[in-house]
Amino acid sequence: MEDRIGILAAVVLSVITVLSVFQTVLMRRITFYIQLYGAYLANSVKSRLSYREDFWAGFFANLMVQLIGVLFVAALFSRVPVIKGWGRYEVFFIYGFSQMSLGLFFVLFSNLFALSEKYVVEGNFDRLLLRPLGSFFQVVTERVHLEEAATVILGLAMAGWAAGKMRLDLGPGQIALAASLLVCASLVHLGIFTVMVSLTFWFRDRGSLVSVMLNLASFSKYPTPVFGPEIRLLLSWVVPFAFTAFYPAARFLNRHQYDALALLTPLAALAAVAAGGLMWRLGVRAYESTGS
């Protein structure tokens, strides 16, 4: 009996030791990438701001494009005050949340959209594979699109204005929860678009698939119940854009029937990022150099 207890204790101790070593190595790796990301981000910001006129031109051009969408929604609700039980300010709040999550993704990760033309077709992906860093990390950090911050700012202004009109009680705890859900919503975008751009490794697609997905993402700016059952199913459980805006935003609109789905947003983000990571790894294995 004592021998069995001793063996069990030794096994448990070995498992704990292995897990401790694994955790230490993993944390060092994560810390390394965080520090490296900070360096890459600083260099990208300095490079972008070295051409200030170009940056501001892009910033205001993007702001004008986003304002067109806002004016469309305003014009729509000037004629129809309520759509299937959803009022003007509720839609503006959801729209603003969508703009913030999509804008945050565009600022940090939209260099993914250059994968087909710049990296795969032109053969620059070979350069990334020669470095002792993950290829995905190098692609997303090679350029940060700061001008896309206009989308985030406009979304924040819309959501804040709508919240004020509805007199929502958003204390510090609620704001912290909203920020957490916003980050998760952006990660859902990241996972979905990583899956799409990864198809480039096989099909050399020059952006048509991404364009289709961006058009589908525009549905997330509106309450999902206004669409038919097929679209609701698609946006919730097939391509989960509903978790990038509607479900997390509804959590703060006193629509308590969506509370559980809102709290599933981190799981949706985890699933989307896992799917994106898997597709990227498979794509890298299938990648064939252009030889140029």
Q: Is 291 contained in some domain?
A: no
Residues 215 and 87 in one domain: yes
Q: Structural domain of residue 30, as residue ranges?
A: 1-50
Query: Are 116 and 38 members of one domain?
Result: no
Residue 292 inside a domain? The answer is: no
The pLDDT of residue 76 is 77
Q: Is 169 inside a domain boundary? A: yes
Instruction: Assign 40 a pLDDT band (cuts: 50, 70, 90).
Output: confident
Mean pLDDT of 170-196: 94
Which amino acid is located at 211 in the chain? S
Report the candidate in 238, 269, 264 with the shortest Cα–Cα distance to residue 251.
Answer: 264
In which element (H, E) is residue 217 found? helix 208-217
The whole-number average pLDDT for the span 162-191 is: 93
Confidence band, pLDDT 50/70/90 cuts, at residue 182 = very high
Same domain flag for 98 and 166: yes
6-15, 24-33, 53-62: which has the highest mean pLDDT? 53-62
Q: What is the model's pLDDT at position 212?
A: 85
Label residue 204 by pLDDT band (50, 70, 90): confident
Question: Which residues lie across from 86 on neighbouring strands?
Answer: 83
In a domain, 279, yes or no: yes
In a domain, 278, yes or no: yes
Rg (CA), the chain: 22
Same-domain pairing of 128 and 239: yes
Residue 162 has pLDDT above 70, yes or no: yes
At residue 42, the pLDDT reads 78
Q: Is the pLDDT of residue 24 over 60?
A: yes
User: What pLDDT is recorded for position 169?
Assistant: 82
pLDDT tens, 69-121? Answer: 888 888 877 777 888 889 999 999 999 999 999 999 999 999 999 998 888 88
Q: Are residues 43 and 58 in the same domain?
A: no
Whether 9 maps to a domain, the answer reads: yes
Query: Domain total for the chain?
Result: 2
Same domain, 1 and 127: no
Average pLDDT in the chain: 85
Instruction: Label residue 16 by pLDDT band (50, 70, 90).
Output: low
**pTM of the predicted model as reported, rounded to 2 decimal places:** 0.86
Query: Which pLDDT band holds residue 14 (cuts at 50, 70, 90)?
Result: low
Residues 21 and 138 in one domain: no
Same domain as 19, residue 68? no
Based on the fold, state whether residues 156 and 36 are members of the same structural domain.
no
Q: How far is CA 37 from CA 6, 29, 32, 43, in A?
A: 46, 12, 8, 10
Q: Which amino acid is located at 257 in the chain? A: Q
Asked whether residue 86 falls in the same domain as residue 100, the answer is: yes
Task: Specify the pLDDT at position 131.
Answer: 83
Which residues are registered as beta bridge partners of 82? 87
Both 161 and 27 in one domain: the answer is no
Higher-pLDDT residue of 221 and 1 is: 221
Are residues 76 and 130 both part of a single domain? yes
